[in-house]
Amino acid sequence: MAHTVLLAVDGTPSADRAVELLASYMGERSELKIVATNVQTRPIAIWPEAAIDARAIEEALLARGREIAEKAVSRLRSAGLRAEAAVRLGFVAEGILREAEIRSARWVVMGTRGHGALGGYAIGSVALRVTHASAIPVCLVRAESGLPSRLGRATRAMLAVDGSEVALRAAGALVQWRSWLGELDVQIVHVQEPLTYLETVLPPHDDVIRQWSGRAGDEATRAVRELLAGENIRSDLHLAVGDPANEIVHLASDTGCELLVMGTRGLGAAHHALVGSVALKAAAHAAVPVVLVR
């Protein structure tokens, strides 16, 4: 059975890179069905006049949307993939989510400019809004993102784990994607916040702190490690201390990972704009595509 992927395109460099991510797929072509979707925003006439032909404007918008979507479809078909175009009018994020629901899509793939959580919220980032509202995983691709070299045959993925149910769901999703991602090599990472000043100068001593840190990492990642081992998926564990988003991004690069998978609680754009999100911060700076799972 084919997996339907909703590919959101808007003609930007980041969206073009998302197209290339799918065009590089090396697995069984029958595993994927791609719907290249463009959503055009209807203009709002504050002072409507008889001289304004709303239908003509909408037709022009739809024509522009078809041009963008068909360009993506042409590229995907040239790569031997099944693809079709869909063009809609309305609010962009809502249109993408609605099309994904109608098509029973398994993934949303889209570009992001990578402004970060605060910048994305301030400018009304479509990617940010889709990520928080989507019931299915969202793969964010930056214009600068490196692409997996053997997507569909073998994929080395970094899986960020914090001991939460959300992280375990992300691991479960990764297992389910094995049929079309190819052979998986999973690098598990658990990052702890650095010690406070008082914690560094007061007992316990360093050897106790290291023992505690390792034990905490072991406990936080045990369920995920057992899940992957039960599915015969190769994995390695990395424990780090520092800013979680920065450590995850750096480790993904240092270990040669080609995909970063993270859970996100999807509490809403305003929440993350105010307090920051590890997942969104990592997505804004990672050198590879990032898949966020609620």
Per DSSP, what are the bridge partners of residue 160? 189
Higher pLDDT, 276 or 31: 31
Contact by Cβ (8 Å): 216, 163:
no
| Residue 204 preceded by cis peptide, ω within 30 | yes
**How many domains in the chain?**
1
Mean pLDDT for 259-287 is 70
Task: Calculate what percentage of the chain has a pLDDT beyond 90.
Answer: 63
C-alpha 145: how far from its chain's center?
12
Instruction: Tell me the pLDDT tens digit for each residue of 14-48.
Output: 999 999 999 999 998 887 899 999 999 987 655 55
| Residue 67 domain boundaries | 3-293
Contact by Cβ (8 Å): 289, 273:
no
Handedness of CA 159, 265, 100, 35 (dihedral sign): negative
Please return the burial class of 11, using the count of CB atoms within 10 Å of its CB with bins 0-12, 13-18 and 19+: middle
pLDDT of residue 115: 53
Contact by Cβ (8 Å): 157, 185:
yes
At 140 the three-state DSSP class reads strand
Mean pLDDT for 86-99 is 95
pLDDT of residue 193: 72
* Tokens encoding 15: 């969206």
Contact by Cβ (8 Å): 221, 160:
no
CATH number at residue 111: 3.40.50.12370
Higher pLDDT, 121 or 130: 130
Mean pLDDT for 114-132 is 61
pLDDT of residue 273: 38
Instruction: Tell me the pLDDT tens digit for each residue of 171-218.
Output: 999 999 998 899 999 999 999 876 554 555 555 555 445 545 577 788
- Put simply, whether the predicted model's pTM sits higher than 0.75 gets the answer yes
201-221 per-residue burial string, b: 16 or more CB within 10 A, e: under 16: eeeeeeeeeeeebeeebeebb
Instruction: Tell me the pLDDT tens digit for each residue of 215-268.
Output: 778 889 999 999 999 999 999 999 998 889 999 999 999 999 999 999 987 544
Mean pLDDT for 55-78 is 95
